[in-house]
Structure 1
């Protein structure tokens, strides 16, 4: 999310391109988790079809269920990226197991 989108939504999870060290990325990730976790904790099946507006899709409404599935798919995508990069530098690949990752 770019800074302008962050200002519109009130989210502080701005673009990760602002962070250039592992510590700054971890700090950014922790702040994002603090914002996302209450949303996931409050999830109820009745929210599945609730229409929401996403900053990255101006003028369009999507369902909250689509947002949650997008978050999960995006997390899996990044786990795959980390696994490939770890192998490239001779490290153990990141596990694709989502159980125990404290996603919420």
Structure 2
């Protein structure tokens, strides 16, 4: 076990110590992703995150491009069409696709 200085975390070996330091003990990071503001103009996000790990989480959660669900569904009219739901992130899209995979009861009448 290797101790990581003042934070007191124990790392398994010398290879994991630099990863820990880079992820949790880096300086503040600014998000430089270009986003579209409410007025339709593009601007840099500019959010200040406390370290690289927080910046990575922010980019994945808040600044990922919108994704559209393209799985086929059966509409109320009985015709097959694409879902078309717009999801904010890749995680939301994954959850949306999971909804389509759930089994639905079949009406035998």
TM-score for the superposition, normalised by structure 1 = 0.28
Larger Rg: 2
Give the number of the structure with larger relative contact order, counting CA–CA contacts within 8 Å between residues 6 or more apart: 1
Instruction: Decide which structure has greater helix share.
Output: 1
TM-score where L is the length of structure 2: 0.28
